[in-house]
Amino acid sequence: MANWALLDLAMQAMRSDLDYQFTDQALPENLPPWGVLVLESHHSSKFAMNWRTHEFVKIIYVWKGRGEFHIDDEIHQFDANDVIVIPPNTRNRIIDDKSAASSLYICCISTQLFNFEPSLVGSLKVRLQSRRHGFTNRITSLLRRLIHSQRKPVATTSISMVADALLLLQCVLELESRSQIKLQSNSNERSVMKRYIADLPHRFFDESSIDSTSQRLGIPRRSFTKLFHELTGETWLAHTRRLAVEHAQQRLCRTELPITSIAFECGFRDLSTFYRQFKKLSGMSPGEYRSTKS
């Protein structure tokens, strides 16, 4: 019983440390001039949504919770890690399960981006993809990239967001678990690895596993792990998690973003892992770190 009591106290402390920004209603969906918008919607227990219709494509990733998507006359049950596509000019609303209010990441994509392929919009159908592991990894990776681009406006923000939004749509339509991008065959493994490590601080959130990364780089897994440790002095997992925590530290100090948003942005799929890794490397919880550094 003592262990359960300690666990309960730890969970209570974690919940009090969070600074969720709950919403009782659907967020406004006002697209910027380049036609791509990412929304983060954490629903309260009082969340209610009226029917709405939009002229853009909407891709929704369910991070947490469960409920129903009502789309025209159809009802689609959803759960955590599901992805749904809502075509333009389709009446829709969300009804959460009262015992499990949802947290959603929503990408809105203007149909003007499909002018090069007018038939694409007409071919879009309501699609609900449930818990495909590789597919979900790719979707969350692209959403994190979109979030990073949207939150750091630079000259190329519009280009990067449009490119990633189209990749997101391609991934949904074709059910591609990941892009199989091969580097030039004349590059040796060490130079490939050096370039990969140098670029990793800018894309650590995009990495899902050693297997997928070694496959993408064209390096056998055993050679990858040995060479990575030789060049960095760390394992791949330890290195990527350290980069994620360092990024989280910066976001905690420089922004007022909710801790749950920072955890997602840094590549963590659940808060318990984020808290555990953050405290392991920082010596304190994210909330304590923000308080001491602000």
Q: Would residue 131 be called left, alpha or beta, if left means φ above 0 and alpha means ψ between -120 and 50 degrees?
A: left
pLDDT at 208 over 50: yes
**Interval 46-54 mean pLDDT:** 94
User: Quick one: how far is CA 244 from the chain centroid?
Assistant: 13
User: Quick one: how far is CA 70 from the chain centroid?
Assistant: 24
Q: Characterize the bridge pairing of strands 36-48 and 22-25.
A: parallel
**Interval 119-130 mean pLDDT:** 75
Measured between alpha carbons, how far is 66 from 81 in angstroms, rounded to an integer?
10
pLDDT tens-digit readout, 140-165? 889 999 998 998 888 889 999 999 99
Mean pLDDT (the chain, rounded):
84
Q: How confident is the model at residue 12 (pLDDT cuts 50, 70, 90)?
A: very low
**Residue written as token pair 């490590």:** 197
Measured between alpha carbons, how far is 138 from 179 in angstroms, rounded to an integer?
9
Q: Are 85 and 127 in contact (CB under 8 A)?
A: yes
Higher pLDDT, 137 or 62: 62
Query: In the prediction, which pLDDT does 267 show?
Result: 87
Among 5-9, 166-170, 271-275, which stretch is predicted with the lowest mean pLDDT?
Answer: 5-9
What tokens were used for 41? 């919607």
Q: Residue 98 CB: number of other CB atoms within 10 A?
A: 10
Q: Are 265 and 147 in contact (CB under 8 A)?
A: yes
Measured between alpha carbons, how far is 68 from 102 in angstroms, rounded to an integer?
10
pLDDT at 42 over 90: yes
**Residue written as token pair 């990527």:** 240
Q: Are 225 and 210 in contact (CB under 8 A)?
A: yes
Q: Are 294 and 283 in contact (CB under 8 A)?
A: no
Q: How confident is the model at residue 13 (pLDDT cuts 50, 70, 90)?
A: very low
Q: Are 92 and 57 in contact (CB under 8 A)?
A: no
Q: Indicate the pTM of the whole model.
A: 0.62
What share of the chain in percent tops pLDDT 90? 55
pLDDT at 178 over 70: no
**Interval 110-135 mean pLDDT:** 78
